[in-house]
Amino acid sequence: MAPGFSFYRLFEKDIDRWAGSGKEELSCGGMPFRIEKRVGFPVDVSAAVVSAAGMDRFYFQDRLCRYEIGAVGRIRAYGENGPETAPISAVEDLWKADPRIVLFGGMGFHEGRPPQEWRAFGAIRFVLPLIEIRKDEKGACAILNACSGESESRQTAADNIGRQLRAIDLTGEVKTGVHQIPFFSESLVPGRQQWHEIVTEALVWLRENGARKVVLGRKKILESLGDPWAPAVLFHRLRAVRENSFLFFCGTENGDAFFGRSPERLFKLENSLLASDAIAGTRPRHEHPEHDSRLAAELMASAKDMEEHRFVVDYIRERLSRMCRHVSVLPSPAPLRLSRLQHIITRITGVVKKGSGPMDILHTLHPTPAVGGMPPEAAKALIRRLEPFDRGWFGAPVGWMSKDAAEFAVGIRSALIRKHALHLFGGAGIVTRSDAEMEWQETGYKMECFARILKM
């Protein structure tokens, strides 16, 4: 935040008033009471959030850097198959108490109990944080979610909140400057030969079943030979990469972290307007402008890549039509240029019908053919059968939501840190025209974009 800043001092008087008040409007039977304050000095939201080790942390910056939002601590968690979580259905009760309340988190690509390396994240997990920080062109504000348990006195809850705020102030002083990247060993899952076998089997499946596309992923595991990987250090290196993409970080209190720079928006909900992006097709960037333009033209003229892209556009249009009025597709796709890669993008919008909230939209849209395939359920089943690892939150939604507003990115160009293991992910769309070696190269480009931060 700023030298000498203290969340505890910012909210100390408000907590005392909340603890001493018996007014019914300040209590919702165990439901949180929001205390919001403007912060009148420069705020480094990501540093305040990511450096708060030993507690739940979340950070999200939109693709055009118009706003950033962060969260620290945990009042309550909602989800499935995760530690200490309330049922996800209870979120609606929370929003009945206060529709402004914001939850942070995401969900796994597949349903069911996640593998060991993703266990702290759960199949679905959304956190109501103790502290929320927002920053946009109007400035910055901090929000405290004060809450007492059903059988807990208000004063006891206030004392506990004070202790947590002082802990955040202490851990927030951790510096994330220059740190040595440890020596590491490297392994690929699957290896090159197995990848060729998997893609060949997928091509047979596509032809025999009349299916149109399946997205297959692989990962690179970098095992530290010294100290554990430091999520804050790698995240701030990733943040230094300037490009038109979402920046996200999701950390758990045990130190595990999932973070990345995703070009792909699953959806944005604001004032009943729902927007989603169809992204598919990949080419590398080139430092020479003329060569770079040739690669973009090659991408836009590729029958294989345009076929992939059309599947995603058609899927999102059909899914939005279930929830929206006035669905609109931009008339022509365009190249989306990132720092190292470029893709084809088409934007799709609609006006949400009454009764469709963020959770409904999540389950209706995920997974798009950009990360799953067509037809969706058959492609998901094939992915689970062929891929020699469980994706966890890779390729799945990660973001924030209130009752009437939300934004979620697709968790690609991402990494998972679990102690000494750094998992890097990459995926490629397989259609009947695909070549296994070219798809190996494409997934390699995507993982290399992340791996470059280790060389910074």
Neighbours of 228 (CB within 10 A): 14
Overall average pLDDT of the 407-419 stretch: 96
Is 184-245+267-455 a CATH 3.20.20.105 domain? no
Instruction: Give the phi and the psi of residue 122 in degrees, each rounded to 5.
Output: 80, 170
pLDDT score of 423 more than 90: yes
Q: Quick one: pLDDT at residue 26?
A: 39
Neighbours of 22 (CB within 10 A): 7
Q: Quick one: pLDDT at residue 30?
A: 67
pLDDT top residue among 32 and 237:
237
Strand partners, 124: 80, 107
Instruction: Please tell me the distance from the alpha carbon of residue 255 to that of residue 176, in angstroms, as a whole number.
Output: 15
* Mean predicted lDDT score pLDDT of the chain: 89
Phi-psi region of 112 (alpha: psi -120 to 50; beta: other; left: phi over 0): left
**Which homologous superfamily does the CATH classification assign to the domain defined by 7-171?**
Anthranilate synthase (3.60.120.10)
Which one of 68, 132, 135, 213 is the catalytic residue? Answer: 213
**Segment 33-76, tens digit of pLDDT:** 899 999 987 888 998 899 888 899 999 999 999 999 999 999 99
The share of the chain scoring above pLDDT 90, in percent, equals 62
**Segment 181-212, tens digit of pLDDT:** 889 999 999 999 999 999 999 999 999 999 99
pLDDT score of 137 more than 60: yes
pLDDT score of 22 more than 60: no
| Secondary structure class of 343 (helix, strand, coil) | strand
* Domain boundary assignment for the chain: 7-171, 184-245+267-455
**Segment 298-357, tens digit of pLDDT:** 999 898 889 889 989 999 999 999 999 999 998 778 888 888 888 999 999 999 998 889
pLDDT top residue among 280 and 314:
314
Q: Is 407 a catalytic residue?
A: no
**Segment 433-453, tens digit of pLDDT:** 899 999 999 999 889 888 888
**Segment 68-112, tens digit of pLDDT:** 999 999 999 999 765 567 888 889 989 998 999 999 999 999 998
Overall average pLDDT of the 110-119 stretch: 91
CB 47 within 8 A of CB 132: no
Q: Is 213 a catalytic residue?
A: yes
Retrieve residue 293's tokens.
């333009």
Q: Quick one: pLDDT at residue 23?
A: 45
Pairing type for strands 76-80 and 86-87 reads: parallel
pLDDT top residue among 276 and 25:
276
Amino acid at site 88? I
Predicted TM-score (pTM) of this structure: 0.92
Which one of 264, 308, 439, 442 is the catalytic residue? Answer: 264
pLDDT score of 179 more than 80: no
Q: How far is CA 57 from CA 13, 73, 124, 176, 258, in A?
A: 25, 6, 16, 15, 11
Same-fold call for 7-171 versus 184-245+267-455: yes
Q: What confidence category does residue 403 fall into, taking pLDDT thresholds of 50, 70 and 90? A: very high
Overall average pLDDT of the 276-301 stretch: 89
Q: Quick one: pLDDT at residue 168?
A: 85
Q: Quick one: pLDDT at residue 27?
A: 40
